[in-house]
Amino acid sequence: MKRLLPCLMLSLFFISIPVKGQKRNKKEDSKVPTNFNDATQSKDKNGIKKYSEVITKDAISDDGLFTVHKIKDEYFYEIPFDKLKKEMLWVSRISQLPQGLGGGYFNAGSKTNEQVVQWVRFQDKILLKVKSYANVADSTKAIHNSVMVNNYEPTLFAFDIKAFNTDTTAVVINVTSLFNTDVAAISGLSARLRKEYKVKKLESSLSFINGIKSFPENIEVKQDLTYSASEPPSFSDMESISLQMNQSMILLPKEPMQPRMYDPRVGFFTVSQYDYGSKELKADQKTYIRRWRLEPKDPEAYARGELVEPIKPIVYYLDPGTPENLREYIKQGIEEWQKPFETAGFKNAIIAKDAPTPEEDPEFSPEDVRYSVVRYVASTTRNATGPSVSDPRSGEIIESDIIWYHNHLRSYRNRYLLETGAANPSARTLNTPPEEIGEMMRMVIAHEVGHALGFPHNMAASYAYPVDSLRNGAFTQENGIAASIMDYARYNYVAQPEDENIRFIRQIGPYDHYATNWGYRLIPSASTMEAEKDTLNQWIRLRELDPKYKFGRQSSRFDPQSQTESVGNDPIKAGDYGLKNLKYVAQNLKSWTSDQTNDYGDLEELYGELLGVYNRYVGHVVTNIGGVYENLKTPDQVGLVYTHLNSAVQKASMDWLQENVFSTPSWLLDKDILQNIDHSGYFEELRKVQARQLDNLLSFDRIGRLIDAETTETEFYSALDMLKDLRTGIWSEVGRRTNVDIYRRNLQRSYLDRMGYLMTDEGPSPRNNDSDFERTLTFDVSASDVQTLVRGELKTLRNRLQAAKNSSINTMTRYHYDDAIARIDQVLDPGN
């Protein structure tokens, strides 16, 4: 027994160590349990080896946030214990991709996922955990425990501990398997794309880690992935999809930026949390604006109202692949925002730079999360975007990329010709002057930078200016064509040929200065976001009666004030001016295009886009009918948030539509255009244009709003009024006993099809209510007046068709009326 006792005591000593490891104290993250010490044993029973056996002399090491070791084809992270449980933002981006992926709207630089992660030790493993800030509570409150256990966070990946470093301050794991297997959360292919391209699996033999670089606050990984796919977007014979992903992991600030509470009266992108520690009798949703962290170098001077440079300005680099002739305009577009930031008290707050050359910085990469880059994409897609990455704890924007697609300028050239060509001689060409193309690009970049600064579209900005002011040269030169660059008011299509010194292209406006000041100006006296609220509210109240400072959500369905692609505060008057100009352009389109190039390709393209411009002008007037003004307010402000458009304007809008849409717009039927771009289909092209607006007018939500007006208004344009006026106009030949031509016959049949849809469809389904989009009106159609009204209109029309078909009309009209009666009978009595 005496000989056994020391052995037993020694055994108990070693057994006690792992038990202690499960009761972790505050210092545990900075040291290693004794039995894992490199000096005491070569390899323990769990497979943990000596550091020198894992990180051999062949290792190529890169110091940074973690030390990264490369040994042959394998990569190891040496994670300091003081970095465990630290919150890090993981951003997955496509670095290179095949042509056509995602229908052309994916590009080098496209973000595919963004998530907060933590590296956590569990026994002999390191877990990569995904952390959510959707539900939170103060850690000092009892409910914090309930939030944690009812919102258990998923594990993205698990790694065996391979070794501890020599001074027991860091753990070593092999991360190779994370990056050469198909991990959905960091993949470039969503479930939708996998289904679309019939992706089978990741081909491991054709997938590998391209490289890993470690920097002081971030790690950048490039991985090449090849998937087998039955229907890839390109290289179909290969039956595979290859793309390169960039995985960025950045250490989030230890102290989050002080959030600023969101106010819907000023437009900002947001992040939201449900705070279960709130004093409210429910989980309190807290919404913060997304913005960059700007802090003055001289806080005292800033507090005195002086312009002060920020400690860390916002810097955008130009993609090394940017064409030389466009770089100047891109830089100007970025730095357009310097003036609004001066309104917020910051000098040189945003700066544009060329990307460093490989000699200047061999490690520079556009995908590196440390750099914000204007990416220039060689793609036929016509678009530009301004996404950003933000800290979900506070809304702080960490990084953003502006995406510019190569062919986008062609869209702007075409729109410039179509929308301004009547009043703007320099737009009457396919070879737009370079300085005007540059000005367009400058303003598109400024618009996209606005998104990257946190600003959504403000569709009310174009409604701030009276229509006739847009014909005044001095006014447009000073104020532009809308109160914000963040509207979709691209060109001044209102100005007439006789007007002089007109500005035709949008620019930064007063709202942009106002919103930048509201979101970015520091309030030195307020040390918490709650303490800021009174001041922020006062800034809004000072401007509440001035339409230049109104924010309008991206809503073209019900609010005539907040429409895309519109200018001016009167859609009817703006539509009159716009169509007058468009008719002039149509008359001259051939001479400006095919007559100059001896080719009909541009004529065909521009005629198709001309129809789109026409549809937009018309759509602005359609929105007046059943229109509801949305003026976001707080209860301490005077007036209602929602008010219906007055009945006279709605009736005038219907008259306008009858004259400019439903009475055949013959000016669109120019045979010198049509018969040079296609052999047939002219009647169908026009029918589609008219049917689009007819369907827009006869929508459930519009009819529902007209019905709804009867519940709150004493004077209103009713659903019955609208349907009666529409029927009378579209079927005017019935009352006049005149023949119906092919275009009107097509329109009338489209009317019957749409009325049949209203009789049989159940109505719109609810959709998620995004802060940028209005909620679609949903209601029980079968219990409403909709089908009653439609049935009554169809029966009235049937009786009039029956009386008119025996009058002195031609055979085709008589056949048409017989067919219309049969169609109505089928709708009203589908059983026969």
Residue 499 has pLDDT above 50, yes or no: yes
- What is the tens place of the pLDDT at every residue in 83-111? 999 999 999 988 888 877 877 667 666 78
Q: How many of the other CB atoms lie within 10 Å of CB of 547?
A: 18
- pLDDT band at 199, cuts 50/70/90? confident
- What is the tens place of the pLDDT at every residue in 374-386? 988 766 666 677 7
Tell me what the mean pLDDT of segment 167-196 comes to: 91
- What is the tens place of the pLDDT at every residue in 602-620? 999 999 999 999 999 999 9
Residue 133 has pLDDT above 90, yes or no: no
> Nearest CA to 486 among 504, 510, 461?
461
pLDDT of residue 431: 95
Strands 60-62 and 67-71: what pairing?
A: antiparallel
The percent of residues in the chain predicted with pLDDT above 90, rounded, is: 70
pLDDT of residue 112: 87
Distance CA 410, CA 404 (A): 12
Q: What token pair was written down for 378?
A: 């060689």
Which of the two residues, 330 and 407, has the higher pLDDT score? 330
Lowest mean per-residue pLDDT among 254-263, 361-370, 754-763: 361-370
CB 620 within 8 A of CB 557: no
Lowest mean per-residue pLDDT among 185-199, 453-467, 680-694, 736-750: 185-199
Lowest mean per-residue pLDDT among 211-220, 409-418, 548-557, 747-756: 548-557
Query: For residue 469, which phi and psi values (nearest 5 degrees)?
Result: -65, -25
Task: Give 641-679 as a DSSP string.
Answer: SEEEPPHHHHHHHHHHHIIIIIS--GGG--HHHHHHH-S
Residue 13 has pLDDT above 50, yes or no: no
Residue 29 has pLDDT above 60, yes or no: no
Strands 67-71 and 74-80: what pairing?
A: antiparallel
CB 133 within 8 A of CB 393: yes
CB 495 within 8 A of CB 420: yes
pLDDT of residue 231: 84
pLDDT of residue 33: 43
- pLDDT band at 151, cuts 50/70/90? low
Tell me what the mean pLDDT of segment 408-425 comes to: 94
> Nearest CA to 78 among 252, 184, 212, 211?
212
Distance CA 86, CA 256 (A): 13
Domain boundaries, the chain: 29-251, 270-378
CB 319 within 8 A of CB 373: yes
pLDDT of residue 165: 94
Distance CA 618, CA 123 (A): 67
pLDDT of residue 162: 96
Q: How many of the other CB atoms lie within 10 Å of CB of 596?
A: 13
pLDDT of residue 46: 67
pLDDT of residue 773: 47
CB 348 within 8 A of CB 339: no
SS3 content of the chain, % helix, strand, coil (to 5): 40, 20, 40
pLDDT of residue 708: 92
Note the pTM of the prediction, 2 decimals.
0.86
Residue 713 has pLDDT above 90, yes or no: no
pLDDT of residue 6: 42
Report the 3 state secondary structure along 93-127: EEEECCCCHHHHCCCCCCEEEEEEEEEEEECCEEE
At 328, which helix (H) or strand (E)? helix 327-335
Distance CA 449, CA 374 (A): 9
pLDDT of residue 190: 84
Distance CA 519, CA 116 (A): 24
Residue 267 has pLDDT above 50, yes or no: yes
pLDDT of residue 12: 38
- pLDDT band at 511, cuts 50/70/90? very high
- What is the tens place of the pLDDT at every residue in 660-693? 999 999 999 999 999 999 988 888 999 999 999 9
Q: What token pair was written down for 653?
A: 């809008």
Distance CA 632, CA 543 (A): 13
What type of residue sits at position 658?
Answer: Q
Residue 4 has pLDDT above 70, yes or no: no
